[in-house]
């Protein structure tokens, strides 16, 4: 039991590098965005069981932030050699049901890599002017729903409140987006 709990509460090993301001200074231009709104981008591996909680927390976050403050995008990685539709599954359907979320495939994790994301559930929040405001996760453990610093920080930023520098990036709990992720199943 101890080993399982320790695993659940240990951030991904490469998450620290991913959230260490490796992300671009401005928001991705190719994603839909309304002027004056914040842009949130969540990167997911379509087969990561930990990411269900990240999507649950995204829904909470968007509800708490208030309507029309955040343009939310979920990009789901798809390996180059994956069969058509491989990235469309439970997580894609879950993300698609969240009001106001745009979901799209990310072939070869190009967009995720450009954002500096390497772990499923990694979130980037950009200001209306394109500056990076937040990088990290929005859960407190692998597959763990509930109160956490990531959601709190993003909600505060969406409401125009400042956050402490210590919470403008948080640990990410999830599977790697590339290399070592579950292989594509051959049909």
pLDDT of residue 144: 64
**Do the domain assignments include residue 80?**
yes
Angle at 45 between CA 138 and CA 74, to 5 degrees: 60
This prediction's pTM: 0.82
With respect to residue 181, please indicate whether it lies within any of the assigned structural domains: no
Look at residue 103 and give its three-state secondary structure. Answer: strand
Low-confidence spans in the chain with pLDDT less than 50: 1-9, 13-23, 181-187
**Is residue 115 within 8 Å of residue 74, measured between CB atoms?**
no
Expressed as residue numbers, the domain containing 83 is 2-24+32-170
Q: Does 179 reside within a domain? A: no
> Residue 175 domain-assigned?
no
Number of domains in the chain: 1
Looking at residue 78, its pLDDT comes to 92
Helix (H) or strand (E) holding 76: strand 70-78
pLDDT computed for residue 40 by the predictor: 96
Is residue 96 in a domain? Answer: yes
Q: What is the pLDDT of residue 21?
A: 44
């Amino acid at each position: 039991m101890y080993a399982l709990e320790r695993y659940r509460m240990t951030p991904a090993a490469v998450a620290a590098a991913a959230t260490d301001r490796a992300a671009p200074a401005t928001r991705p231009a190719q994603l839909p965005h309304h002027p004056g709104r914040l842009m949130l981008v969540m990167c997911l591996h379509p087969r990561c069981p930990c990411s269900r909680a990240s999507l649950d927390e995204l829904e909470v976050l968007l509800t708490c932030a208030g309507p029309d403050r955040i343009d939310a995008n979920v990009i789901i990685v798809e390996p180059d050699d994956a069969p058509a539709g491989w990235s469309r599954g439970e997580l894609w359907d879950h993300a698609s049901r969240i009001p106001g979320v745009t979901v799209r495939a990310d072939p070869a994790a190009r967009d995720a890599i450009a954002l500096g994301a390497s772990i499923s559930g990694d979130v980037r929040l950009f200001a209306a002017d394109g500056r990076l405001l937040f990088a990290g996760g929005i859960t407190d453990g692998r597959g763990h729903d509930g109160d956490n610093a990531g959601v709190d920080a993003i909600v505060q930023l969406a409401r125009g409140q400042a956050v402490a520098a210590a919470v403008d990036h948080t640990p990410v709990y999830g599977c790697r987006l590339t290399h070592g992720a579950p292989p594509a199943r051959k049909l």
